Amino acid sequence: MAELYRSDPALALEVINGILEEGDQAELLTVLRQLAQAFGGVQAVAEQAHLNPTQLYRTLSPKGNPALSSLTAILKAMGLRLAVQPVDCLEPARGG
């Protein structure tokens, strides 16, 4: 998968967005590990994200629970970012 993501960054973006929409944290960590390999390995991503490589291995492990700051740093190191979008099926909250 790492090679596929490296050759088709749009696919990586589509996969991550789909996982975030579904809310499957285990799957997100799996894809982030694969993306780390596509972007030069955990050592390279850790350096770009200003994280300790051991910390990044733990963060991306199946039992990992990344803090938002770590997740945003990891994504930024891969040229990605989190974005918030409205959910189509929900009515917006109204004040008053």
27: which residues sit within 8 A by CB, 6+ positions away? Answer: 19
Tokens of 17: 């967005």
pLDDT of residue 91: 61
73: which residues sit within 8 A by CB, 6+ positions away? Answer: 49, 50, 51
DSSP 67: -
Q: What is the pLDDT of residues 54-90, one digit of tens each?
A: 999 999 999 999 999 999 999 999 888 888 878 776 6
Alpha carbon distance 66, 70 (integer Å): 6
Q: Where are the domains of the chain?
A: 2-77
pLDDT of residue 5: 78
pTM for the whole structure: 0.79
Q: What is the pLDDT of residues 6-51, one digit of tens each?
A: 788 788 889 888 998 898 999 999 999 999 999 899 999 999 999 9
